[in-house]
Structure 1
Amino acid sequence: MPGMHHLYSSESINIMIVRLRELAAHWTTVVPLFAVLLLVSTWGRSVPGAVVVLLTVVLAAAVLAAVHHAEVVAHRVGEPFGSLVLAVAVTVIEVALIVALMADGGAKSATLARDTVFAAVMITCNGIVGLTLLVGALRHRVAVFNPEGTGAALATVATLATLSLALPTFTTSKPGPEFSTAQLVFAAVASVVLYGLFVATQTVRHRDYFLPMTRKGEVIDADQHAEAPSARIALISLLLLACALVGVVGLAKGVSPTIESGVEAAGMPHSVVGVIIALLVLLPETIAALRAARRDRVQTSLNLALGSAMASIGLTIPAVALASIWLSGPLVLGLGAVHLVLLALTIGVSILTVVPGRATPLQGGVHLVLFAAYLELAITP
């Protein structure tokens, strides 16, 4: 009997090990679902420090799962649709988070939309662009991309950012860096129209402008070398991508009180909280863009970066314009002098980066220095 008990215990352990291995092999399926369950169980509750650590670990795992499923969907639909899926999916959930925080935040949420959108612009246009250009150029000597498509994306981002974040600082119809109702409606409509025109250009009329290029300037299909996943697998990945992104954004909100406490204890401005949350939310795009750059698909990386910046502005401004109907308190959109300088410098440097259609590590370094300057000035304004 003791021998049988020992055998039974060994078999049980072996079965458990096999099941754990199977679970590890399918972690990209398990993690998004677990993240949503964890989010539901902790939403709106005060959680202890140990649970915050668990939320952070699951959040990081959900980010990696989101990148995996985004790449599956992108492989199925091809570029530039794949980049668009991830950018829009993340931004839609991010906008929902912003509106929810504005509804609960009271007076201190007046600048939340501005801070979040500007953080997204700086992270994408300097952080992600700088990293991908640096990685692509170091790995392949020169990072090659299509200046026509990238230039069109940059022009749209620059226009949206200026209309939504710069102009409110100088308008006089309403005191403070705020839009009047008519001006806010115009900014919202302009954002939707420009974003719609860009998506039509990117996916229909001039799709080839946004495809990766060879060293000789020839347009190629980034996924033509491998068999695309089936429609069923792509649909499952799309659903799991949505779950993962809901988990990422929701768990980021869950850990935000701890982040706020740490920021206040360190004596840093409250706007740093928005920067940290934006960094967490944009991790899927960052990882996906770096992977594309390592494969010499810098155009895909730039599609992700500029597409995310554009979606962040083009969807956030109309959403907060609608939300302002029932939300009380001011809606501050205008940037301060320091951030206006950073925005102008970012647009100018980005133009010089995009025009040649190729970049060396220097261009990547310049964008990363601008991003570092933004972080430094956010911490010590």
Structure 2
Amino acid sequence: MIRKLHAVIAQWTVVVPVASLVLLVLTWHRDVPGWVVAQVACFLGAAVLAAVHHAEVIAHRVGEPMGSLVLAVAVTVIEVALIVTLMADGGDKAATLARDTVFAAVMITCNGIFGLSILIGALKYRVAVFNAEGTGAALACIGTLATLSLVLPTFTTSSPGPQFSSTQLVFAAAASIVLYGLFVATQTIRHRDYFLPVTPEGKILTEEDHAEPPTNRATLASLALLGVSLVSVVGLAKGVSPTIESAVESAGLPSSVVGVVIALLVLLPETIAALRAALRNRVQTSLNLALGSALASIGLTIPAVAVASAWLPGPLVLGLGPSHLVLLSLTIAVGTLTVIPRRATPLQGAVHLAVMAAFVVLAINP
């Protein structure tokens, strides 16, 4: 019975990514009726679940923290390609797209996914335990890169408005790619044990479970299907964005709400994978996914848009506004206080979710 169930799951997770990609090709840049949009939304949800399945297969084969890194980087690379494409098509209207997308990703990962993972882990196992060395290093990199890329443009004076001059933009891009590369090397090679799940007594867990790891062939197949699933997720999210924009406009909400909704859709695979890890008392894996996604979003997006800005028609606005500066500062401060004790209660999870809720409220009602 169990083998039959595994066979059904395996079959489903192969068919859905391919079918989603076909649907994406058929609907890309086309005006489609409402019933087709409903189908797109269904396939979007199914592709998210398929992506989570294949990411977990890969993670089981390569182990932590490499498994979390694969999913975070894969999602971000596709997201960056989408941002650059939209900026190329949007002109002046897309001047703040990179900033808004990166900031939304930081808020969703560092408060939404981070807070939910701690809350679920702490509610089920009394406290959520994690490795402060690795989590603190990731949070320090996020705070530094976010400040260099999103805060400084608000206060520089070489260019009018919250924009970098060419020299400043080159520096921010170089700092982002160097720090992100050093973080990846630290996470996967030099100090890999800092990013492994731990027991309440502080013992490092080197094995996720006792099941046999998948074969190389199965892992490569899952890697390919993960890529197809993530392309489908991001592409279908872009496909439903006109419907979201119409709904937001009809409700009289600011246009920034569209970016938040799309960011939530794109980050769904990481969110589900993180919550499933927290339910297995692997909170460190959840935090690797959350903070790794935030780092990848900054470390890959800023260099990409810096290069693309040489030929993009419109300006590139990176500086955050006052309310977002306050939220970013609060996120780093609260995150630091959460990480230091190496364990957290449901209260800390609720605090992060309160900051996330404030971000959503301010997006709806600035």
SS at match of 1:293: helix
Matched, 1:225 2:202: no
The answer on 1:287 being equivalent to 2:266 is no
Task: Report the CA distance between 1:271 and its aligned residue.
Answer: 1.1
Q: Counterpart amino acid of 1:102?
A: M
Cα shift at 1:202: 0.3
Q: CA deviation at 1:325?
A: 0.8
* Whole-angstrom CA distance in 2 between matches of 1:225 and 1:73: 15
Structure 1 residue 225: Cα displacement: 2.2
Fraction of identical pairs, as percent:
74
Output the amino acid matched with 1:220.
L
Moved over 3 A (4+): 21-25
In 1, the alpha carbon distance for the partners of 2:280 and 2:231 equals 28
Any conservation in 1 of the 2:91–2:312 contact (CA below 8 Å)? no
Q: Counterpart of 2:19?
A: 34
Separation (CA, whole Å) in 2 of partners of 1:240 and 1:323: 29
Matched residue type, 2:35: A
TM-superposed deviation, 1:222: 3.6
Question: What runs of 5+ residues in structure 1 fail to find an aligned partner?
Answer: 1-20
Q: Does 1:49 align with 2:27?
A: no
Structure 1 residue corresponding to 2:154, chosen from 165, 169, 194:
169
Over residues 24-63 of structure 1, what are the superposed CA-to-partner deviations in whole Å (9 max), with x where a residue is unaligned?
A: 7611110000111111111111111111111100000000
Q: State the number of aligned residues.
A: 361
Q: Report the alpha carbon displacement of residue 357 of structure 1 after superposing the two structures with TM.
A: 0.4
Q: 1:249 aligns with which of 228, 234, 239?
A: 234
Root mean square deviation of aligned Cα:
1.1
Distance in 2 of aligned mates of 1:114 and 1:47: 30
The one-letter amino acid of 2:363's match is: A
Q: 1:10 is matched with which residue? A: none
Tell me, what secondary structure is at the counterpart of 1:198?
A: helix
1:86 aligns with 2:86: no
Structure-1 separation of matches of 2:35 and 2:81: 27
Change over 3 Å in CA distance of 1:40–1:96 after alignment to 2: same
SS in structure 2 at match of 1:26: helix
1:154-303 to structure 2, matched below 5 A, reads 154-303=139-288
Query: Which residue identity lines up with residue 243 of structure 2 in the other structure?
Result: T
Residue number in structure 1 paired with 2:3: none
- Does the 8 Å CA contact 2:153/2:319 hold for their aligned counterparts? yes
Equivalent position SS for 2:293: helix
Q: The residue matched to 1:223 in structure 2 has which SS?
A: coil
- Structure having the higher Rg: 1
Q: Distance in 1 between matches of 2:107 and 2:365?
A: 17
* TM-score normalised per structure 2: 0.97
Q: 1:249 touches 1:281 (CA, 8 Å); kept in 2? A: yes
Letter in 2 for 1:207: R
Matched residues in 2 for 1:222 and 1:100: separation?
40
Out of 309, 317, 324, the residue aligned to residue 339 of structure 1 is 324
